[in-house]
Amino acid sequence: MFKSLFYLINTLFAIFYLYPGSILGFIIYKDLNRQPQLTDDFNLLLLNFSSNHVYAFLFLSFFGFLLFFEKKKKIILTYFFLISFLFEILHILVPNRSFQISDLYGNVLGVLISLILFLCFSYVKKKI
């Protein structure tokens, strides 16, 4: 059941990410061109990270790590890093979307944070 939920969330994630406009902006503001911003973007080490992208990839990848990491470690790691790059690169081709390096950094940071959290969670779980 959780795997089916993950696949559904993953599909919705791809639709929201690659749709030519902001579906959430339309739902919240009735404006496809307006993107809701959860928090200010992060500025770390002279780099800008899109906070929305960090949160989205953190959520999606942590859920995926919980479900698949133990049996399919290399596949799930490759998958999340691949889509974090691929989805942002595809914004070059999607109308009304644009490639932004801060979004790419946010995607990768979200995956890295979720990986670290997952590994810490797994370590504590084994110790208990």
In a domain, 35, yes or no: no
In a domain, 37, yes or no: no
In a domain, 23, yes or no: yes
For 38-97, what is each residue's pLDDT tens digit?
888 888 878 899 999 999 999 999 999 999 998 999 999 999 999 999 999 999 999 888
In a domain, 69, yes or no: yes
User: What are the tokens at 8?
Assistant: 């559904």
Write the CA distances from 75 to 44, 45, 71, 72, 98, integer angstroms. Answer: 29, 30, 9, 5, 28
Q: Please give the Cα distance from 26 to 23 (Å, whole number).
A: 5
In a domain, 92, yes or no: yes
User: What are the tokens at 29?
Assistant: 């503001």
In a domain, 38, yes or no: no
In a domain, 65, yes or no: yes
- How many angstroms from the chain centroid is the CA of residue 6? 13
Q: Please give the Cα distance from 2 to 30 (Å, whole number).
A: 32
| pLDDT of amino acid 127 | 85
In a domain, 77, yes or no: yes
User: What domain range includes position 77?
Assistant: 2-29+43-127
| pLDDT of amino acid 15 | 93
User: What are the tokens at 107?
Assistant: 């995607």
Q: Please give the Cα distance from 36 to 104 (Å, whole number).
A: 18
| pLDDT of amino acid 30 | 85
The domain total for the chain is 1
